[in-house]
Amino acid sequence: MKNYIVLVSCYQIFILIYLIELPNAKGNITGKNVQGKKDAAEGCFCKLSGTVDDCECKVENVDFFNNLRIQPLLHEILQTDYFRYFKVNLNKKCPFWYDDHQCSLKDCAIDKCKMDEIPIGLKESSHQDTKENKYSEKANSEEHTCEEKVKLAALDKTISDESKQAFQSWSAFDDAQMTFCEIDDELSSEMEYVDLLLNPEKYTGYRGHSPHRIWNSIYDENCFKPNPTYAYGSPQLKAGDQLEGICLEKRVFYRMISGLHTSINIHLSAKYLFPDTVYKPSRWGMNVKEFKQRFDPETTAGQGPQWLKNLYFTYLVELRAIAKASPYLEMESFYTGNETNDLKVKNDIKKFLDAVRSFNDHFDESKLFQGDSIQAKKLKAQFQIHFRNISRIMDCVGCDKCKLWGKLQVQGMGTALKILFSGNSIGPNSVVNANKKNNFQLRRTEIVSLINAFGRLSESIKELNTFRNTMM
């Protein structure tokens, strides 16, 4: 009898311990893990409040405005034919270095992929235990077969015959509208339409040496810095540490690139491919661990929260560009050949632009490149050259889906900058003169990339809210 009592007591103690560690109804962990989880969330999000750097707008206002007003409208617009098809050249050679990566390329045939051909960065960490490697050793050593990598990186180029016929009429319509804004490869035979809805931005298995070289080239060679020597660490970390002592224009450039980088990393974490396990088949879902690895202060030398805040800066810059171009965009027909759908897009865009214009704290581009001094003109020219270089670096991306979204978002950001510094005046109340199209013109691909790029930023801010709720 005594033994029975002892067994019951041990069982009760076991149940008590189990209940202490059991997830509650909201998915939180009770007991000691609650505080640890809360600390981790507060660490990542500790700077997501108050005024956005180099702006007058508050993070909280952007969250409310984007998540309740802008995001629902954008979601509907980006489903339409005009905005889902993006014309792009994915076959351009990298102009800066030999493109030697394997398996993440669309034409990496499965029968040619041997283990000794796969870059070491895809098999294991090539920069173990260094700040330069933004992934953990475990993350870099996660195995995906070559076949899996090809599937993850491959583009779905399915386009219906009906859509192909419509594209011909779209081009004829553009020519009739005397669109003359130069875009690389616009007349190239290698330009092709890609359905963005069939190729969403998400995890592709593209990691290791190749993407590190892309971002290193962007930050190390094309972001402004006060001196030619960087401290040791990852390219984004090094560039961020150099912000003190440089002018507003150079800070703006860095924050925009950092915000874009942050947005991409959020999407890769939010739409992550979990591999097969003995308990579950492979699946897509939100990876909190990956998110923390990319933004937690402990894994980013304290810079991750600032990178998240830079996302809001990039959002505000592109939001302002759309507001400035709103009279121009309202005059567009958004032609696809389907009169009913085209009219609906125009009406949806009108609602979207009305919402954009209602925002009270737009970015003020008039603070940049002030005056007509030689120094201001020289700085503006450098700004343009650096950004043009970054757009060319996108042709060095070794994963087709990554390249697609990289080119689209960089082009969208470039279109936003073009809008901000065009027109008869510059400043928060200025607009592009839509009645004089010969002085300013946006091609279809610029409009598509502008709205889709802003859509990516908008979605990232929404995803941040989801991550925060999950981690708290």
CB 155 within 8 A of CB 400: yes
- Quick check: 12 pLDDT over 90? no
To the nearest whole number, what is the mean pLDDT of the chain? 76
Q: What is the pLDDT at residue 242? A: 60
H-helix segments, 394-443:
400-420
CB 286 within 8 A of CB 27: no
**Structure token digits, residue 210:** 């190749």
CA nearest to 314, candidates 250, 262, 390:
262
| CA atoms 441, 446, 448, 451: torsion sign | negative
- Quick check: 134 pLDDT over 50? no
Q: What is the pLDDT at residue 37? A: 55
pLDDT band at 292 (very low <50, low <70, confident <90, very high): very high
Q: What is the pLDDT at residue 343? A: 94
| CA atoms 79, 309, 212, 143: torsion sign | negative
Q: What is the pLDDT at residue 174? A: 60
- Quick check: 437 pLDDT over 80? no
Give the pLDDT confidence of 157-177 residue by residue, as tens digits.
Answer: 778 777 877 777 776 666 554
Give the pLDDT confidence of 29-59 residue by residue, as tens digits.
Answer: 344 455 555 555 678 999 999 999 989 899 9
pLDDT band at 227 (very low <50, low <70, confident <90, very high): very low
Rounded to the nearest 5 degrees, what angle is found at the Cα of 153, between the Cα atoms of 269 and 96? 100
**Identity of the highest mean pLDDT range in 117-126, 224-233, 405-414, 435-444:** 405-414
Q: What is the pLDDT at residue 175? A: 57
Mean pLDDT computed over 119-139: 34
**225 phi, psi to nearest 5 deg:** -150, 150
Mean pLDDT computed over 304-326: 95
Percentage of the chain lying above the pLDDT 70 cut: 69
Distance in angstroms (rounded) separating the CA atoms of residues 155 and 167: 19
Binding residues for FAD: 204, 215, 258, 261, 294
Rounded to the nearest 5 degrees, what angle is found at the Cα of 45, between the Cα atoms of 77 and 272? 55
CB 206 within 8 A of CB 118: no
Active-site annotation, residues = 399, 402
51 or 244: which leads in pLDDT:
51
**Structure token digits, residue 171:** 């081009």
262 or 90: which leads in pLDDT:
262
pLDDT band at 271 (very low <50, low <70, confident <90, very high): very high
